[in-house]
């Protein structure tokens, strides 16, 4: 069985690689493992544990990273779509000025 640290590493790698299905799976596994660990702790252990803060930082980083990556992909898609539209409609051919005498 994977430890919380191993699942965290898998989550980080999935986020960095852009494997969104793997991100969802790793995030779900992380939550399950975190919950089991958290519920096994005494109130006093929970009070002094950095685990909760660390989990918040990790999931915040993962969410922000995924949002940024998806926004960048969306922008690239819009750029390619627009370029394809211009090329299909002969925009580039009409506006080319190189190679002309002038």
Q: Among 1-5, 42-46, 86-90, where is mean pLDDT lowest? A: 86-90
**pTM more than 0.75:** no
Whether the predicted pLDDT of 95 surpasses 60: no
Neighbours of 10 (CB within 10 A): 18
3-state helix, strand, coil split of the chain in percent (to 5) is: 80, 0, 20
| Average of per-residue pLDDT across 13-40 | 94
Local confidence band at 78 (pLDDT 50, 70, 90 cut-offs): confident
- What is the average pLDDT score of the chain? 87
| Average of per-residue pLDDT across 1-30 | 93
């Amino acid at each position: 069985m994977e430890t919380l640290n191993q699942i965290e590493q898998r989550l980080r790698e999935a986020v960095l690689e852009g494997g969104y299905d793997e991100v969802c799976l790793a995030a779900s596994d992380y939550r399950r493992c975190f919950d089991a660990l958290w519920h096994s702790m005494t109130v006093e252990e929970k009070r002094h544990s950095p685990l909760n803060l660390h989990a918040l930082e990790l999931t915040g980083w993962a969410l922000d990273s995924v949002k940024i990556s998806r926004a960048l992909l969306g922008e690239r898609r819009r750029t390619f779509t627009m370029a394809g539209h211009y090329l299909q409609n002969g925009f580039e051919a009409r506006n080319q000025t190189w190679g002309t005498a002038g």
